[in-house]
Amino acid sequence: MDARDRIWVALDSDDLTRARDLVRTLRTEVGGFKIGKEFFTAFGPSAVREVLGDARLFLDLKFHDIPNTVAAAVRAGLRLRPTLINVHASGGPAMLRAAAEAAAAAGADRPALLGVTVLTSLADDDLRAVGQASPAADQVLRLARLCRDCGLDGVVASPLEVAMLRDALGPDFRLVIPGVRPAWSESGDQKRVMTPRQAVAAGADDLVIGRPITRAPDPVEAARRIVAELA
């Protein structure tokens, strides 16, 4: 995979003009753009179409509800022709299978369906606070195996679990990794982080990178710097 194609820029913003400018300047520098809850809630699907045009879309809405509702949400998301779409793996096997069946309705144009395992903002003590006694790595592997068994194409997981997941789930299971921070940027609210080069070396397929690019004085230069590091 070309280094540029691995990078998904997170457009987590409620500034439509800023998002439009970022897509215009970065579309030839990166593989695609991730639209999350903030942008989608503020502007809706029509703005996603208008801002992205024919750029590749990672629809990052992390659906988590009863199976019928999640299946309907995935079917609605297909109208935006995303390359990637995700659901929360902790929604359970019935929900995951319903999401996989809904994604399959797109036929040859179906997006890769990903399960979100453990958010990269959570560490072991955070999991214990909500009643999850296992270390984060154990929970990530458990949920990733569940996703595979329910027909999903891959998972979203932190960089620190990439090597474990690649070893356990093989070369064809897609690993999409947020919490990626170049050595020259701040980690922000992410607790389980790794540099882009380290993440790819460990087995990551796709890297989600937001603030190191979008808040850089020169986003194009920042994106090119990351691509050069990967290459």
Q: C-alpha 38: how far from its chain's center?
A: 15
Q: How many CB atoms lie within 10 A of CB 204?
A: 24
User: In terms of Cα–Cα distance, which of 180, 186, 185, 187 is closest to 9?
Assistant: 180
Strands 84-88 and 112-116: parallel
State the catalytic residue, choosing from 34, 37, 62, 191: 62
| CB-neighbour burial class of residue 197 (10 A; exposed 0-12, middle 13-18, buried 19+) | middle
Both tokens of 128, joined, read 């214990």
- Residue 34 is among the residues annotated as catalytic for this protein: no
Helix and strand tally (H, E) in the chain? 10, 8
DSSP states of 17-31: HHHHHHHHHHTTTSS
- In angstroms, the CA 111 to CA 133 distance is 33
DSSP 169: H
Q: How many CB atoms lie within 10 A of CB 29?
A: 18
* Catalytically annotated residues: 62
